[in-house]
Amino acid sequence: MKETLRSAITEAFREAGLAVRHRDFQAAYGWLERAHILTQRMPLAHAKSHWLMLKLGWLTKDWREVAGQLPRIVAALLLSTIWVPVGNTGRARISAFSAMPLSTELEDLLRED
Protein backbone atom coordinates (compact mmCIF):
# COMPACT_ATOMS: atom_id res chain seq x y z
CA MET A 1 0.00 0.00 0.00
CA LYS A 2 1.23 3.48 -0.82
CA GLU A 3 2.36 5.47 2.19
CA THR A 4 0.12 8.41 1.19
CA LEU A 5 -2.93 6.11 1.21
CA ARG A 6 -1.95 4.57 4.53
CA SER A 7 -1.53 8.06 6.04
CA ALA A 8 -4.88 9.22 4.66
CA ILE A 9 -6.64 6.19 6.18
CA THR A 10 -4.96 6.71 9.54
CA GLU A 11 -5.91 10.39 9.48
CA ALA A 12 -9.54 9.64 8.62
CA PHE A 13 -9.97 7.18 11.49
CA ARG A 14 -8.12 9.47 13.93
CA GLU A 15 -10.15 12.55 12.97
CA ALA A 16 -13.40 10.59 13.21
CA GLY A 17 -12.48 9.60 16.76
CA LEU A 18 -11.64 13.18 17.68
CA ALA A 19 -14.92 14.42 16.21
CA VAL A 20 -16.87 11.86 18.26
CA ARG A 21 -15.04 12.94 21.43
CA HIS A 22 -15.99 16.54 20.64
CA ARG A 23 -19.57 15.40 19.93
CA ASP A 24 -19.37 16.69 16.36
CA PHE A 25 -21.23 13.72 14.93
CA GLN A 26 -21.69 15.18 11.45
CA ALA A 27 -17.92 15.62 11.11
CA ALA A 28 -17.37 12.12 12.51
CA TYR A 29 -19.60 10.62 9.84
CA GLY A 30 -17.76 12.64 7.19
CA TRP A 31 -14.41 11.24 8.28
CA LEU A 32 -15.80 7.71 8.49
CA GLU A 33 -17.24 8.03 4.99
CA ARG A 34 -13.79 9.06 3.78
CA ALA A 35 -12.22 6.11 5.61
CA HIS A 36 -14.83 3.83 4.07
CA ILE A 37 -14.05 4.94 0.53
CA LEU A 38 -10.31 4.60 1.07
CA THR A 39 -10.56 1.12 2.62
CA GLN A 40 -13.14 -0.51 0.36
CA ARG A 41 -10.62 -3.03 -1.03
CA MET A 42 -9.19 -3.91 2.42
CA PRO A 43 -11.61 -6.27 4.21
CA LEU A 44 -10.58 -5.62 7.83
CA ALA A 45 -10.21 -1.85 7.52
CA HIS A 46 -13.41 -1.70 5.44
CA ALA A 47 -15.30 -3.62 8.15
CA LYS A 48 -13.76 -1.30 10.76
CA SER A 49 -15.27 1.73 9.00
CA HIS A 50 -18.70 0.07 9.09
CA TRP A 51 -18.24 -0.97 12.74
CA LEU A 52 -17.42 2.61 13.71
CA MET A 53 -20.47 3.86 11.78
CA LEU A 54 -22.56 1.32 13.68
CA LYS A 55 -21.15 2.56 17.00
CA LEU A 56 -21.81 6.16 15.99
CA GLY A 57 -25.37 5.26 15.01
CA TRP A 58 -25.81 3.64 18.43
CA LEU A 59 -24.37 6.70 20.17
CA THR A 60 -26.73 9.02 18.30
CA LYS A 61 -29.69 6.62 18.58
CA ASP A 62 -29.91 6.39 14.80
CA TRP A 63 -31.40 2.90 14.65
CA ARG A 64 -31.61 2.93 10.85
CA GLU A 65 -27.84 3.42 10.75
CA VAL A 66 -27.26 0.65 13.28
CA ALA A 67 -29.46 -1.82 11.39
CA GLY A 68 -27.95 -0.84 8.05
CA GLN A 69 -24.38 -1.32 9.22
CA LEU A 70 -24.84 -4.89 10.46
CA PRO A 71 -25.08 -6.52 6.99
CA ARG A 72 -22.46 -4.13 5.64
CA ILE A 73 -19.91 -5.36 8.19
CA VAL A 74 -20.44 -8.95 7.02
CA ALA A 75 -20.33 -7.93 3.35
CA ALA A 76 -17.14 -5.94 3.91
CA LEU A 77 -15.41 -8.98 5.37
CA LEU A 78 -16.62 -11.38 2.69
CA LEU A 79 -16.82 -9.34 -0.52
CA SER A 80 -14.28 -6.50 -0.37
CA THR A 81 -11.72 -8.32 -2.47
CA ILE A 82 -14.30 -9.39 -5.06
CA TRP A 83 -16.49 -6.33 -5.69
CA VAL A 84 -17.26 -2.94 -4.18
CA PRO A 85 -19.29 0.01 -5.48
CA VAL A 86 -16.46 2.52 -5.89
CA GLY A 87 -17.00 5.82 -4.11
CA ASN A 88 -19.90 4.58 -2.01
CA THR A 89 -19.82 6.36 1.34
CA GLY A 90 -20.99 3.34 3.32
CA ARG A 91 -23.87 5.01 5.16
CA ALA A 92 -27.12 3.12 5.70
CA ARG A 93 -29.07 5.83 3.86
CA ILE A 94 -27.18 5.04 0.65
CA SER A 95 -27.78 1.84 -1.27
CA ALA A 96 -24.93 -0.56 -0.60
CA PHE A 97 -24.84 -1.24 -4.36
CA SER A 98 -24.53 2.36 -5.61
CA ALA A 99 -21.25 3.55 -7.05
CA MET A 100 -20.63 7.25 -6.46
CA PRO A 101 -18.26 9.76 -8.06
CA LEU A 102 -14.86 10.24 -6.48
CA SER A 103 -13.12 13.54 -5.92
CA THR A 104 -9.85 13.98 -7.75
CA GLU A 105 -8.03 13.75 -4.42
CA LEU A 106 -9.58 10.38 -3.57
CA GLU A 107 -8.97 9.10 -7.10
CA ASP A 108 -5.29 10.00 -6.74
CA LEU A 109 -5.04 8.29 -3.36
CA LEU A 110 -6.66 5.11 -4.67
CA ARG A 111 -4.67 4.95 -7.91
CA GLU A 112 -2.22 2.10 -7.71
CA ASP A 113 1.20 3.22 -8.92
pLDDT digits (tens, 9 = 90+) for 75-88: 999 999 999 999 99
Q: How confident is the model at residue 113, as a pLDDT?
A: 46
Q: How far is CA 29 from CA 4, 16, 79, 91, 92, in A?
A: 22, 7, 23, 8, 11
Q: Is residue 65 part of a domain?
A: yes
Question: Domain range for residue 100?
Answer: 3-108
Q: Is residue 41 part of a domain?
A: yes
Q: Could you tell me which residues come within 8 angstroms of residue 3 by beta carbon, excluding any fewer than 6 positions away? A: none
- The backbone torsions φ and ψ at residue 86, rounded to the nearest 5 degrees and listed phi first, read -55, 135
Q: Is residue 9 part of a domain?
A: yes
pTM: 0.93
Residues 86/40, Cβ–Cβ less than 8 Å: yes
| Residue ranges, the chain, pLDDT below 70 | 112-113
Q: Is residue 97 part of a domain?
A: yes
Q: Is residue 113 part of a domain?
A: no
Q: How confident is the model at residue 54, as a pLDDT?
A: 98
The domain total for the chain is: 1
